[in-house]
Amino acid sequence: MPTLIVATGNPGKLKEMQAYLQPLPWQLQLKPDSLEIEETGHTFLENARLKAEGVARALGHWAIADDSGLQVDALGGAPGIYSARYAATDAARIDRLLKAMGGIQERSAQFVCAIALAGPDGTVVAETEGICRGEILSQPRGNHGFGYDPVFYVRETGQTFGEMSAQQKEICSHRGIAFRQLMPRLVTLDLLG
């Protein structure tokens, strides 16, 4: 079974990717903690490419990476690529976001997930970007998921990501959309070739 390195040290992200890639005959492994790839890109896609390319080259294996985050229209796209670094904890990130939104009435936002797959030589062979539109609530709702999930409301479902089951979120989330877009390309790849 061919090995695919997931360019993250986060076991939660590995588990999520295993669920999306379950139909494929690949063994997923986390990158070593000692291997750090600096995210110097200006977009989610640039950072996903950097991580996939860097891990693939360093280890000589196929590598997949994603970069994702929240973009709030009224905040000029912030927190954007800095979503995970917006504050030290999920609760602090939500608190900072809600304070930044203050009395702003226009609360539209989107979650973005960019995914890149690189061959053992570091060449990116597939990439995509999934987007889920929604809005920011003034109070958190639900305790599923992580990050900004409890304040990100998806009008079509009538729920926040924090209120959705994992299966519901998989259907409409930015990451689910990105993997569904990428899957036709992935099923044609021979990771041993």
Would residue 108 be called left, alpha or beta, if left means φ above 0 and alpha means ψ between -120 and 50 degrees?
Answer: beta
Instruction: Work out the mean pLDDT of the chain and round it to a whole number.
Output: 93
pLDDT at 193 over 70: no
Global model pTM greater than 0.85: yes
Predicted confidence at residue 49, as pLDDT, reads 98
Alpha-carbon span 23 to 20, nearest angstrom: 8
Q: What is the pLDDT of residues 39-85, one digit of tens each?
A: 999 999 999 999 999 999 999 999 999 999 999 999 999 999 999 99
The answer to which of 102-106, 157-161, 185-189 has the lowest mean pLDDT is 185-189
Nearest to 165 by CA among 143, 139, 134: 143
Nearest to 178 by CA among 108, 116, 109: 116
Q: What integer is the mean pLDDT of 81-94?
A: 95
| Residue 67 is a catalytic residue | yes
Q: What integer is the mean pLDDT of 132-156?
A: 95
pLDDT-derived band at 15, boundaries 50, 70, 90: confident
Q: Where are the beta strands (DSSP E) in 38-185?
A: 62-72, 108-118, 124-136, 152-154, 159-160
Domains of the chain and CATH, by start: 3-186 (3.90.950.10)
Nearest to 70 by CA among 93, 104, 40, 49: 93
**Annotated catalytic residue: which of 33, 67, 121, 149?**
67
